[in-house]
Amino acid sequence: MSIPSRVLVGGGLAAALLVAAACNPPGSRTAASSDTSVAAKSFVPPGEKDEYYLFYSGGHSGQVYVAGLPSMRHISTIPVFAPYSATGYGFDQESKQMLGRFTWGDVHHPGLSQSSGKYDGRWLFVNDNANNRIARIDLRDFKTKQILGPIPNSSGNHGSSFVTENSEYVLVATRFSVPLPKGRYADPSAYKTEFNGMVSGIKIDPKTGEMAVGWQILTPPFNWDLGSTGKGPSSGWAFWTSYNSEMAHEKLEATSTQGERDYAAVVNWRAAEQAVKDGKATMLDGVAVLDPAKVAGVIYFLPVPKSPHGIDTDPSGRWIAASGKLQPVTSVFDFEKIQKAIAAKAFDGEVRGVPVIKYEAVIEGEVPVGLGPLHTQYDGKGNAYTSLYVESAVAKWTLPPWSDAQKKDLNTIISDKIPVHFNIGHLVVGGSDTKEPYGKYLVAMNKLSKGRHLSVGPSQPESSQLIDITGNKMTMLYEAYTEPEPHFAQILKADAIAPIEVYPKAENTHPNAVWDAAQTGVTRSGNKVEVKMVAIRSRFAPDRIDVRAGDEVTIHVTNVEQTTDMIHGLGIIEHDMNVVVDPGETKTVKFIAGKPGVYPFYCTNFCSALHQEMQGYLAVKP
Amino acid sequence: MEIVVKTRALAFASFLDRPVNGTGRLLLLLSIVALLAGGALPLWRISLVAPQYAEGLTLDMYAYQIVAGNNGQDLAEINTLNHYIGMKPIAQADFLEMRVLPFAIGVFALLALRAAIIGRIVTVVDLAVLFLYFGMFSLGSFVYRLYTYGHHLDPQAPMKITPFMPVVVGSQQIANFVQTSLPLAGTICMGAFFMLLVAVLVSSAREARREVV
C-alpha cells in the first residue's frame, strides 16, 4: 500500500470516529463488542448440547427457568409456585395439593444441594418470598416434589434458599417482620416492640430430601435480606444481611437508611441445632424457637456499611464479602478474625441480648468496587466479581490476602470492570457457593432491558448477559431475554446429573395406574364416578365417559408409553381442566361434571401423526 | 468296471463304518461348544432407524427369546408404531420356535457328544444332514414369519400400506424407517457347528485315504 492511500485510510478512520463520537453524548458507551469472532464462544450448533445448566429463578412468575450455557437457550420451565397448564401443573390432585391455596409465588434464590461443599446434583431448592414457602425440585426428573410452608413464624422469605455444605439445612429468613405468632394483630406503629424477625434452618432429610423446620432464632424486626452458608473455617455458620436496623415501619426508603451501618447476622447453626436438642428452645406455633437473649452463642450481629444486600462466602470459607447498596464499597470480613473476636468477646455492646461484633476487629478491607454494589461471586482462582446496580457494571477484584501496598490503596486490586445492560441485580459464576467453582462463565442478570430487544410494548423482559471470565479481562459474549424475573441463578455442569426421560413402569406406584385398555373402566358409587384411563398413541381408553350433571368425576390417567418425549395431555372442553402426563406417569384429576351436554376431551400435548384423532367424549346427562 | 464300482461302494461303506478318529473327536467336542454358544448368543438382529429414532429400535432374536433394545422398551415401541399399519403385535409367546429350538439344540448337542464318544462316521453324516435340514428349516420359518408380519395387515388400520416383505439380510426403506436385518454371533456359531462336522468328515476321509495308500 502506498503512503498516500494509508494517510487517506487513516484520515477516513479518524473522520468516522469523529462522526461516531459526535453521535454519542458524553458518557455514553458502545453497547457491546461487534466482533463476530465472539459469537463462536457461545455458539452451540444445532443438535449439540450445552456444557452447563443454568437454573434461573423466575421471580414473581413463581417458576424456575432452565437454560443451557453457553448458548443461553431456554430449554424448559419448571413450574413451582404457580399453575402451569403447559405441563398440567396445578391441575392434577397432587400438584394442586402442593400449591395449596396459592396461585403464585416469588422465586428468588435457587440453591443446589451439596455434599462436602460441592454440588451433588440431587435437588434444587427455591424460596417463595411472597408466601413464606420453600420448594424442592428433584433433578432426577426436574419436577417439584415438595412445597413446605407457609413456614410458621417466618414472613417474607427472601433470605433463602442457601444450602449448607452437606445439605443439612436450607436457610430461610424473615424479610417482612410481623407480630408473632402469625395471625396475631398488633398496631404497626408498635413495630419495634410487637414485631419480630426470624432466621431459620430447614432440615433436609439426607435420603429423601424431605424438608421440615429444624430451628428458628428470634430476632429484632430487621429486614433480613440475603444470606450464604459457611465452609472450611466457617463450616457450621450461616450469614444474613439486613436492612432497616432502625426498625422503621413506614416510608422505609428514607427511615431505614439513616444509620451508617446495618447488621448482618452471624449464626452458628451447629450451636442452634445443639441448643434445640438440649431443650433450650421454646415452642412457638409448633416450631422450636431459640431466643438469643436466653441462649448464648447461636447468633451475633456484625455491622456492615450501609443498607447491605448480598453477603457471600468465598470458596475457601474464610472471606465474606458484603456490599452496602448505598456505599460504593464491598466490605470483606475475615472469618478467622470473627472467630477470634467472638472468643475474645471483642463486642460493641449488644442488641436485645445479641452481641455486636466489633467492626474494626474483623474487617479486612473495604473494596471500592463502584456504585451500588450488590452481590459477589467467585471463580475459585482468587477473583471476586461484584455486581454494581447503580453503575450498571460488574467489577472484578482480587480476594485477600493483599500486600501492604494493595492494602494502602484498595483501588489497585480492582482488575477489570465491564458494563452490563442495564442495572444488574444478581450475577452468578458456576459453583461460586461451593469449594470448587467452575469459573469460566458469569451470567449478569439485569433488571432492565430498556429497549435492547425488538420492542414488545410496555411489558418488558429482563436481560441476562453471558460474560467470559477465563481471561484477565472479562468479555461480553451474548445476551438473552428472560421472562420476569430472574433474581439469582445456579449453574450446574451438565454431566453432574443424568435425568430420567421416562418414568419406568416398574417404579409407578400409583394405586390406580392401569397399563392396558382391558384394565380400564368407569365405576360409579353414588354421585362419584371414577375412571381408570390409559393414554397411548393415538387414543384414550376409555374414550367415552358417561356421567350425570353435578357428578364428582375422578380420572386416573396413565400414559403407558415408555418412549422419550411421548407425552400426552388430557384437556376437557369447558371444564378448566388440562393435565399432562409424561411417559410412565399416572395423574389423577378431580372435577364436577358441568351442565348437561357433551364435552369432548382431547390430547393437548402433540404426540403422534394421529394426535388430532386422539379424543373422546364426556357425556353429561341431565 | 463293475468291480471298480463295487470296490468303491465297499470302501465307502467301510469308511462310513469307521470310528471317528482322535482329531475328529476333539473337533466334535469343539462343535458342541459352538452349538451351545449358538444357542445362548443372539442369532439375528432387526433394527429400525428413523430421524426420530436416530439411535435405532432393535430386536435381537435368540434361539429362546427376543431381546429388545432400551431394556426391552423397543419391542413395545415397535408394536405401538406397527399398530398404525395394522401389523400384528410381535410377542415372544407367539414364537413356537423359541420353545422348540432349545430342545432341538439339546438333542443335537447330545448326538454330537454321542458321536464324539462312540461315534462312527455315519453318525456324523447323519448329524450333519439333520442339522443342515434343521438349520434351513429354521431359517425358512424365520423368513416366513417376517413375510406373515409384513403381509397380514389389519384392513381397519389407520394407515393403509402395501403389504411388504421385511428384508432378511440387508437394509431397506419402509416409510420413514430404514430396516436392517443381519445375522449375529449365534448364527455364526451355528454355522461353525456345521462346518466342524464337515471338518470331522474331511479329517477322517484324509486319514482313510492315507491308510489305503
Q: What is the DSSP string of A407-427?
A: HH-GGGGEEEEEE-SS-EEEE
What's the pLDDT score for residue A325? 87
What's the pLDDT score for residue A369? 97
In order of A233, A258, A259, A348, B125, the CA distances from A302 in angstroms are: 17, 17, 14, 10, 97
Whether the pLDDT of residue A45 is over 80: the answer is yes
Banded model confidence at residue A14, pLDDT cuts 50, 70, 90: very low
Does A610 touch chain B if contact means CB atoms closer than 8 Å?
yes
Q: Which residues of B touch A609 (CB under 8 A)?
A: 84
CA atoms within 13 A on the CB side of A516: 3
Does B97 touch chain A if contact means CB atoms closer than 8 Å?
no
| B50: alpha, beta or left? (left if phi > 0; alpha if psi -120 to 50) | beta
A505: nearest CA partner in chain B: B73
Does A537 touch chain B if contact means CB atoms closer than 8 Å?
yes
Scan residues 471-490 of A and list those with Cβ closer than 8 Å to B.
none
Roughly how many angstroms between the first and final C-alpha of chain A, as a whole number? Answer: 92
Scan residues 1-30 of A and list those with Cβ closer than 8 Å to B.
none
Burial class of residue A174, CB neighbours in 10 A (0-12, 13-18, 19+):
buried
In order of A100, A242, A331, A426, the CA distances from A327 in angstroms are: 42, 15, 10, 17
B79: nearest CA partner in chain A: A537
Q: Which residues of B touch A502 (CB under 8 A)?
A: 73
Q: Distance (Å) from the C-alpha of residue A562 to the closest C-alpha of chain B?
A: 7
Range among A52-66, A251-265, A445-459 rated most confident: A52-66
Q: Which residues of B touch A538 (CB under 8 A)?
A: 158
A317-335 confidence digits (pLDDT tens): 999 999 988 899 999 999 9
Q: Which residue has the cell 436481560?
A: A463
Whether the pLDDT of residue A33 is over 70: the answer is no
Subunit contact B80:A609, Cβ cutoff 8 A:
no
Q: Which residues of B touch A613 (CB under 8 A)?
A: 158
Q: Residues A388-416: what's their mean pLDDT?
A: 97
Q: Distance (Å) from the C-alpha of residue A65 to the closest C-alpha of chain B?
A: 26
Report the length, in residues, of chain B.
Answer: 213
Long-range contacts made by residues A135-142, C-beta under 8 angstroms, separation at least 24?
Answer: A135/A80, A135/A81, A135/A105, A136/A204, A136/A209, A136/A211, A137/A64, A137/A78, A137/A80, A138/A209, A139/A492, A139/A497, A139/A499, A140/A497, A140/A499, A140/A500, A141/A499, A141/A500, A141/A503, A141/A582, A142/A66, A142/A76, A142/A78, A142/A499
Q: Strand A211-219 relative to strand A287-290: parallel, antiparallel, unpaired? A: parallel
Helices (H) and strands (E) in chain B, counts: 6, 5
List the grid coordinates of B180.
436392517
A117-128 confidence digits (pLDDT tens): 999 999 999 999
Helix-strand-coil split of chain B, %, nearest 5? 60, 15, 25
User: Omega of the bond prior to B183 within 30 degrees of 0, cis?
Assistant: no
Judge contact between A107 and A147, C-beta under 8 A: no
Subunit contact B76:A562, Cβ cutoff 8 A:
yes
- Give dist(CA A521, CA B169) in Å, integer: 44
A350-359 confidence digits (pLDDT tens): 999 999 999 9
Subunit contact B77:A563, Cβ cutoff 8 A:
yes
Q: Distance (Å) from the C-alpha of residue A342 to the closest C-alpha of chain B?
A: 59
Which of B80, B81, B82 to probe by mutation at the A interface, max A CB count within 10 Å?
A: B80
A136-153 confidence digits (pLDDT tens): 999 999 999 999 999 999
Contacts of A26 (CB under 8 A, 6+ apart): none
Q: Which residue has the cell 384394565?
A: A519
Subunit contact A609:B77, Cβ cutoff 8 A:
no
Amino acid at residue number B132: L
Whether the pLDDT of residue B93 is over 80: the answer is yes
pTM here is: 0.89
Q: Distance (Å) from the C-alpha of residue B90 to the closest C-alpha of chain A?
A: 16
Q: Which residues of A touch B68 (CB under 8 A)?
A: none
The mean-pLDDT minimum among A93-97, A227-231, B80-84 falls in: B80-84
What's the pLDDT score for residue A4? 44
Q: Residues B32-39: what's their mean pLDDT?
A: 97
Subunit contact B80:A537, Cβ cutoff 8 A:
yes
Q: Distance (Å) from the C-alpha of residue B93 to the closest C-alpha of chain A?
A: 18
Does A536 touch chain B if contact means CB atoms closer than 8 Å?
yes
State the DSSP string of A74-137.
EEEEEE-SS-BTTTTBTTSHHHHHHHTT-S---B---EEEEETTEEEEEEEEEEETTTTEEEEE
- For residue A238, what is the enclosing H or E element? strand A237-243
Q: Which residues of A touch B161 (CB under 8 A)?
A: none
Of B73, B84, B158, the CB nearest to A562: B73
A47: nearest CA partner in chain B: B54
CA atoms within 13 A on the CB side of A14: 6
A570-590 confidence digits (pLDDT tens): 999 999 999 999 999 999 999
Q: Which residues of B touch A537 (CB under 8 A)?
A: 80, 83-84
What's the pLDDT score for residue A25? 56
Does B126 touch chain A if contact means CB atoms closer than 8 Å?
no
Banded model confidence at residue A18, pLDDT cuts 50, 70, 90: very low
Q: Distance (Å) from the C-alpha of residue B164 to the closest C-alpha of chain A?
A: 21
Banded model confidence at residue A37, pLDDT cuts 50, 70, 90: confident
What's the pLDDT score for residue B83? 92
Q: Strand B53-61 relative to strand B44-50: parallel, antiparallel, unpaired? A: antiparallel
The mean pLDDT value of chain A amounts to 93
The mean-pLDDT minimum among A227-241, A552-566, B2-16, B43-57 falls in: B2-16
What's the pLDDT score for residue A307? 86
What's the pLDDT score for residue B2? 72
- For residue B124, what is the enclosing H or E element? helix B121-151
Whether the pLDDT of residue A34 is over 80: the answer is no
Q: Distance (Å) from the C-alpha of residue A41 to the closest C-alpha of chain B?
A: 28
Q: Distance (Å) from the C-alpha of residue A75 to the closest C-alpha of chain B?
A: 19
> Three-class SS string for A341-403?
HHHCCCEEEEECCEEEECHHHHEEEEECCCCCEEEEEECCCCEEEEEECCCCEEEEEECCCCC
Does B176 touch chain A if contact means CB atoms closer than 8 Å?
no
- In chain A, % of residues over pLDDT 90: 89
Q: Which residue has the cell 443372539?
A: B42
Which of A536, A563, A568, A607 to probe by mutation at the B interface, max B CB count within 10 Å?
A: A563
B120-179 confidence digits (pLDDT tens): 999 999 999 999 999 999 999 999 999 999 999 999 999 888 999 999 999 999 888 999
Whether the pLDDT of residue A404 is over 50: the answer is yes
The mean-pLDDT minimum among A14-18, A130-134, A441-445 falls in: A14-18
Scan residues 559-578 of A and list those with Cβ closer than 8 Å to B.
561-563
A613: nearest CA partner in chain B: B158
Whether the pLDDT of residue A309 is over 90: the answer is yes
Whether the pLDDT of residue A265 is over 80: the answer is yes
B74: nearest CA partner in chain A: A563
Subunit contact A610:B73, Cβ cutoff 8 A:
no
State the DSSP string of A488-532.
-EEEEEGGG----SS--GGG---TT---SGGG-EEEEETTEEEEE
- Give dist(CA A184, CA A101) in Å, integer: 20
Subunit contact A536:B80, Cβ cutoff 8 A:
yes
Subunit contact B84:A536, Cβ cutoff 8 A:
no
